Structure 1
Amino acid sequence: MNAIVLVDKPAGISSAEVVRRVKSRVKPARVGHLGTLDPFATGLLPIMIGEATKLAPFIDGGDKEYAGLIRLGVETDTLDRDGAVVRRADVPAISAEKIAQVTAQFTGAIEQVPPVFSAIKRAGVPLYRLARRGDDVAPPEKRSVEIKRLDLKCEAPDAIRFVATCSPGTYARALARDIGVALGTVAHLEELRRTRNGAFSIADAMALADILAALDSGALPPRLISLRDALVGIPELVVDGAAEKRLRNGDSRALDSQVPPGGPLFKVISQSGELTAVARATSRVTAIVERIFNPEATEA
C-alpha cells in the first residue's frame, strides 16, 4: 500500500495520533502526514503511506485554506480554546467599516510572530515542550507570511467568523491574536478547520473512523491517491524497461536526451504506469534523480 489518503481529522486528537492509528493497521509500512493540525482543529490531513512518504519534499509547502471562529475578549496561552486564560479585555463595538479595514490590513504580505506553543525548535527542542514544562520561553522571531485571501464576518459581538488562504508557515492562531489586537481587544482561536492543503481538498477526504474501519476489514480505503497522481502539475516522462533498470541502479544518464519540457522537476513513469522516480533537469538534455520509488516496498 503506497498511496496518500486524505483524512478529515476530528477534534480532540493530534496529527501524530492519526498517524499512529493508521500505522497500527498498515504495518510495517511507513506512515507520515503533511501539515500538522492542532488537536482542537479539524479538517484536511493528508496521510502518506509506504513509498508515498518519499513524496513529502515535492508536495509539501502549498497554500493552506482555513475556516474558523475567532473569540474576542479572551486570550489564552496557546492562542486557542484548549489553553489557559492569560488575559481578558473589553470588546468594542465593531462596525462594518472596521471589519473592512482589518481585512485589508491582514491581506497580502504581513509579518507574524508565531505562537510560543509551536513546533518551532530552539536548541533542538520544540518550543511547545519548553512552554508546557513551565520554562520562560521568549517568543519566536517575526516571520513574513502571505494571506492571499481573507474574509471576516461578525457572527456575534465577540465572535468573528473567517476564511483565509495562507502561505506555508502561517499560524492561524497568531492571525486570530493579531486580528483581535487590531480590533482593539484580545482574542483566541475557538474553531479551526482546514479545507485545503496544496493541491488536496477536503471534498476528497474521508472521516478517520471510516478509513480505519476499511483497514480493519482488510479492504483498501476508497479515494486513495496514487504516487503518480499525487504529483499534480509536474511533467511526465515514460521510460522503457531498460532505462528503468538503469535508474534503479543509480544511473541518471538513462535520462539523457529525454528531459521533458516544463520542468525542472519531472516524474519518471514506468511502462506499467507506476511512478519510478522524481528527477530534476540540469540542462535541456540532462537530469539528476532526486528520488527513486519502489512500488513493491513494504518495510518500515
Structure 2
Amino acid sequence: MAGASTVQNSSLSKLQSLHGIFAIHKKKGPTSADVLNILKKTLLKEAGVTNFNPRKRKQPFKIGHGGTLDSNASGVLVVGIGEGTKMLTTMLAGSKKYTAFGELGKATDTLDVTGNVVEEKSYDHITKEAFEEKMKQFTGEIMQVPPLYSALKKDGKRMSVLLKQGQEVEAKPARPVTVYNLSLEDFSPPLFTIDVECGGGFYVRSLIDDLGKALSSCAHIKELTRTKQGQFTLEEHALKEDRWTLTDISQALQPCPVPADSEKNAKKAKSKHNTTTSESKGGAGDQNSD
C-alpha cells in the first residue's frame, strides 16, 4: 500500500509540474471540449486520481485548448497545460492549415455534412479552371461571415446551441480574415479537395459555402482535417490517444516560463505529498510490525 501511495503521489506531482503546450490528434466525432475531458481523465487516472469531476471549480491541474475544432472535424488540437494555458491566445492568432473535402450541388444549414440539405443546384457548368479562378477571390485579406452553427456566442450562449433549441439567431456581421494560401488538390465533380492556410477566426465551412455561391451553385464540407496549427503538424507532433501519457506528453511538451509563485506552490504541493507518503509508510510499517 505504501509503495502504491508513493507512486501515486509521484505521478500527481509530475502531472502538476507540467507547464507548456503540446498537440493531440482529435478524432472525428467528439467536440473539442469532450476530447479535452477525455485527456484530463486519462492523465488523472494515470496519476491515481479517480474521483474526477470536470464541473468542480477547483481542479488538480489546469488544462485548455487553443482553437476549437468542429465535432465533425479531425486533426491537430493544441493543448495548454499548467501555465501553458496562458499561451493559448497566441495559438488562436497563429496560422493554421486544413484539408477540406467538399461536395458541389448541395448546401446544408450547418454548411457541413451533419446538417440538413436546404438547397440543391446544378454543378455541371463548373470546370476545374473556373473553380481555381474563383478561388483567387478568396485569397489574401477578405471579409467573411461566420456560420450560424458555430462556437460564437449570443447573450453568453453558443449560437449553435440556441439554434438547436429552436431559437432564431441572426448571422454575425462579416469580419476581416486572412487566407495565406488556397490550392485545389483534387477536382472530381461533384467532389473536390482543397488545402487552406489561414489566420485566426477563419471558418473553412464558410469558405466552401461562399465558393459554391460564387460558382453559381452551392457546396458543403463532407470532411475537414486540421493538418497544422502554429508550429504543430499532424504528422510530426499530434499525439494519438494511445500516447496520452505523462511520459509522452512530457517529451512532446513545448515548455513555458513558470512564474516564481507557481514554482513555490509546486514545491509546497510536493512537500505535502512527501509528508503524506512518509506517514503512509510509517503506518504500514507499524501494522506490519504488529
What's the TM-score, normalizing by structure 1?
0.72
Q: 1:55 to 1:199 in 2, by over 3 A?
A: same
Identify the match of residue 166 of structure 1 among 198, 204, 220.
198
Partner of 1:187: 219
**Alignment partners' CA distance in 2, 1:179 and 1:293:** 49
Partner of 2:254: 226
Identify the match of residue 294 of structure 1 among 246, 260, 263.
263
Q: Which structure has the highest strand share of the two? A: 1
**Alignment partners' CA distance in 1, 2:264 and 2:178:** 37
Compare relative contact order (CA 8 Å, sep 6+) and give the higher one, 1 or 2: 2
Partner of 1:240: none
Judge conservation of contact 2:123–2:190 (CA < 8 Å) in 1.
yes
SS state of the match for residue 21, structure 2? Answer: strand
Residue 16 of structure 1 aligns to which amino acid in structure 2?
A
Residue 276 of structure 1 aligns to which amino acid in structure 2?
V
Partner of 1:282: none
Root-mean-square deviation (CA), in Å?
A: 2.3
**Alignment partners' CA distance in 2, 1:170 and 1:67:** 14
Question: Share of identical aligned residues, percent?
Answer: 33
**Alignment partners' CA distance in 1, 2:253 and 2:131:** 40
**Alignment partners' CA distance in 1, 2:185 and 2:21:** 35
Q: Which has the larger radius of gyration?
A: 2
Is 1:276–2:245 an aligned residue pair? Answer: no
Structure 1: 5+ residue runs without aligned partners? 229-274, 278-290
Please state how far the C-alpha of 1:20 moved relative to its aligned partner: 0.2
Identify the match of residue 12 of structure 1 among 2, 25, 29.
29
Please state how far the C-alpha of 1:160 moved relative to its aligned partner: 1.8
SS state of the match for residue 203, structure 1? Answer: coil
Judge conservation of contact 2:97–2:229 (CA < 8 Å) in 1.
yes
Please state how far the C-alpha of 1:227 moved relative to its aligned partner: 1.9
Please state how far the C-alpha of 1:132 moved relative to its aligned partner: 0.8
Please state how far the C-alpha of 1:126 moved relative to its aligned partner: 1.3
* Deviation larger for 47-56 or 158-167: 47-56
Identify the match of residue 43 of structure 2 among 18, 26, 34.
26
What's the TM-score, normalizing by structure 2?
0.75
Query: Deviation string for 1:214-233 (max 9, x for gaps)?
Result: 35xxx4446422323xxxxx
* Deviation larger for 148-157 or 79-88: 148-157
Please state how far the C-alpha of 1:186 moved relative to its aligned partner: 0.9
Is 1:64–2:93 an aligned residue pair? Answer: no
Please state how far the C-alpha of 1:174 moved relative to its aligned partner: 0.2
Please state how far the C-alpha of 1:29 moved relative to its aligned partner: 1.4
**Alignment partners' CA distance in 2, 1:182 and 1:59:** 31
Query: Deviation string for 1:103-127 (max 9, x for gaps)?
Result: 2111111111110001111122211
Trace 1:240-251 onto structure 2 (pairs within 5 A).
none
Deviating above 3 A after TM superposition, structure 1's stretches of 4 or more consecutive aligned residues are 57-60, 219-223, 291-299
**Alignment partners' CA distance in 1, 2:235 and 2:191:** 27
Judge conservation of contact 1:109–1:144 (CA < 8 Å) in 2.
yes
**Alignment partners' CA distance in 2, 1:297 and 1:125:** 35
Partner of 1:78: 110
Please state how far the C-alpha of 1:80 moved relative to its aligned partner: 0.8
Structure 2: 5+ residue runs without aligned partners? 1-14, 45-59, 270-290
